[in-house]
Structure 1
């Protein structure tokens, strides 16, 4: 089976991007007391409550960033609101920990869940176990990032290619005649590959924009971003920007820039609280939002509809992935709009929230 790409176009919910952008511009900082007045599904689905009880189990790559925490929180909170039982939330620990996640999937099978929400540790290798869950009457739902299995019932995620394109566009708008260093991300992570390929393709559309190729590998933590960026900056004194596919790497790169006192800006993806000051200071030029909370909520709402045989609006199957899916459109957060973006509604789970708080 080919390695599917959703880099070519915006899918599903892309027509909602303008509405979300307008909300971000008008709402201002959204605090806890104001969140109930905001459409938690941003108009993408009409929220309903479960008429027939069912159980959902969850296994995600890790909870080391607010993207995956947001997905876990979105699933847990939406389930609570909607009358769905979350039996368990587990984590594989890191990208590549496929064997650990297989064990968690088997454990969820013994709990008698009706659905499994899977944030896969790798793109490939899951089809046999997902097929075994299907044969046991359990539907597996992909969340956050894609998985290469035609036995997935449906998925909710984002257009990984568009994320890469938007970051290249942000650099082109700031300084077309520029040099960008790249830290592509972990090997074997399809989301990182899709972003990087799309970033390179979009950069070719910007006259004068030079991209220095990087190598896949390493982790997605701040320390790895710091070490890689430090080395790249020393070898490329003419650099203007650094591309990273996810914000911990981006924050590490920004720290390397500061240590070397260079006039270099970083572009990255996914919001964490610690990155917001860096955006305000201009050390980070642009970050694409990854609304994990929204993805988690949508997954639960689609599961309710699937369980009760109700219409599933905006799900599509077009060959880009081997199962029906819906995507949330990314927005670009910059120093110009960072003060008005509703992070706490779609991006950042409540401070102090953890798995242990809901188990």
Structure 2
């Protein structure tokens, strides 16, 4: 299936295979501590017209956002709507993301899907857009704005918690203390703060001692430098846990320094590099948030809102942990982009 996906056009590649999908709805919608209920998500068969949907991402520097891109682009193609995607270039580029969104709206967007650089920093522009009657859908990262129309995301607190719980189970209270280097991602991003809170909550009371968190952009060079600093300052560190980029970048470093089996890696979300690392025994485990499906749902939510149809306001795919025991049974195309996939910035129908 994956080989076919790499060769087939977007319009047909797995387009009718992803749903119905096990998901979780949060009620009341947009609440940080709402009730989570299992739901089965089924999208529309087709849009009523070729709506113009603007999509804004923080960057396209890693395979995670490439997976979200695959989700939004393929779902736009399947539904028959137009999609224009812009990316700001990194988590330090808040002002650029704001101006890109403003330009996208000015060019005639009917709806906006935003993967936010900052939890609070986009609130003004979101308020302005919503005030014009243009729905804004919050995808992946989370925002605090009360003016959004829908959320397609998972709880990164749960993602962080699942990662910490994995370690806590291996090293319960009363066992020998282990040191963990922790790399949550760029400071100030909503998903990072949530993952950090979940991770720390999960390891509390266990024999896991977390070193001072090392925050930083999810570029490979930035993460590699942070990992090198932690290894240099803490020769007794047993685990490195953090973003997928952290785990991917650290694999080579661990091998080069002869630390395989002495320093183990975990990521708190899934990418192709993490997936392969688990297959090869280089990464212990990572929860999957099905980022492809989050992108698909966001586009479907936008179309439903524009067409006045019922929609689930706050929903995300069900989270599950991938490890060597189950990796061969996971439907890869739902949690990762197809092998060989290149970024798509525009879909025209």
Which residue of structure 1 lines up, in the alignment, with residue 331 of structure 2?
Answer: 342
The answer to whether residue 161 in structure 2 is matched with residue 154 in structure 1 is no
Q: Secondary structure at the match of 1:355?
A: coil
Pairing partner for 1:109 from 89, 105, 111? 105
Q: 1:57: how far off?
A: 0.9
The answer to whether residue 330 in structure 2 is matched with residue 351 in structure 1 is no
Which residue of structure 1 lines up, in the alignment, with residue 280 of structure 2?
Answer: 281
Q: 1:357: how far off?
A: 7.1
Contact 1:225 / 1:251 at 8 angstroms: preserved in 2?
Answer: no
Q: Mark the CA change 1:277 to 1:302 in structure 2 (over 3 Å): closer, same or farther.
A: closer
Contact 1:74 / 1:292 at 8 angstroms: preserved in 2?
Answer: yes
String of CA shifts for 1:79-116, please: whole Å, max 9, x gaps: 21112222x11101101211111111111122211101
Q: Within 2, Cα distance between the matches of 1:301 and 1:286? A: 31
Contact 1:161 / 1:198 at 8 angstroms: preserved in 2?
Answer: yes
Which residue of structure 2 lines up, in the alignment, with residue 72 of structure 1?
Answer: 69
Pairing partner for 1:174 from 167, 170, 175? 170
Q: 1:356: how far off?
A: 5.2
Which residue of structure 1 lines up, in the alignment, with residue 237 of structure 2?
Answer: 239
In structure 2, runs of 5+ residues without a counterpart are 6-12, 23-39
Q: How many residues align?
A: 317
Q: Mark the CA change 1:278 to 1:121 in structure 2 (over 3 Å): closer, same or farther.
A: same
Q: 1:172: how far off?
A: 2.4
Q: Mark the CA change 1:102 to 1:351 in structure 2 (over 3 Å): closer, same or farther.
A: same
Contact 1:157 / 1:326 at 8 angstroms: preserved in 2?
Answer: yes
Q: Within 2, Cα distance between the matches of 1:306 and 1:115? A: 9
Using structure 2 for the length normalisation, give the TM-score.
Answer: 0.83
Which residue of structure 1 lines up, in the alignment, with residue 54 of structure 2?
Answer: 57
- Give the alignment of 1:29-68 within 5 angstroms: 32=4, 35=14, 38-43=17-22, 44-48=40-44, 49-68=46-65
In structure 1, runs of 5+ residues without a counterpart are 1-28, 316-324
The answer to whether residue 267 in structure 2 is matched with residue 268 in structure 1 is yes
Q: Within 2, Cα distance between the matches of 1:356 and 1:309? A: 27
Q: Within 1, Cα distance between the matches of 2:87 and 2:171? A: 40
Which residue of structure 2 lines up, in the alignment, with residue 123 of structure 1?
Answer: 119
Q: Mark the CA change 1:260 to 1:279 in structure 2 (over 3 Å): closer, same or farther.
A: same
Q: Mark the CA change 1:70 to 1:277 in structure 2 (over 3 Å): closer, same or farther.
A: closer
Q: Within 1, Cα distance between the matches of 2:78 and 2:16? A: 15
String of CA shifts for 1:270-292, please: whole Å, max 9, x gaps: 33333333212322111121322
Higher helix share: 1
Q: Within 2, Cα distance between the matches of 1:348 and 1:71? A: 8
String of CA shifts for 1:297-355, please: whole Å, max 9, x gaps: 11122222222222224x3xxxxxxxxx2222222111222223222233224523222
Q: Secondary structure at the match of 2:285?
A: strand
String of CA shifts for 1:68-87, please: whole Å, max 9, x gaps: 1222221121121112222x
Q: Secondary structure at the match of 2:120?
A: coil
Which residue of structure 2 lines up, in the alignment, with residue 318 of structure 1?
Answer: none
Q: Within 1, Cα distance between the matches of 2:269 and 2:100? A: 26
Pairing partner for 1:83 from 45, 67, 80? 80
CA RMSD of aligned residues (A): 2.3
Q: Within 2, Cα distance between the matches of 1:79 and 1:254? A: 35
Q: Mark the CA change 1:157 to 1:236 in structure 2 (over 3 Å): closer, same or farther.
A: same
Which residue of structure 2 lines up, in the alignment, with residue 25 of structure 1?
Answer: none
Q: 1:159: how far off?
A: 0.6
Q: Mark the CA change 1:36 to 1:190 in structure 2 (over 3 Å): closer, same or farther.
A: closer
Contact 1:265 / 1:282 at 8 angstroms: preserved in 2?
Answer: no
Q: Within 1, Cα distance between the matches of 2:325 and 2:189? A: 31
Contact 2:111 / 2:134 at 8 angstroms: preserved in 1?
Answer: yes
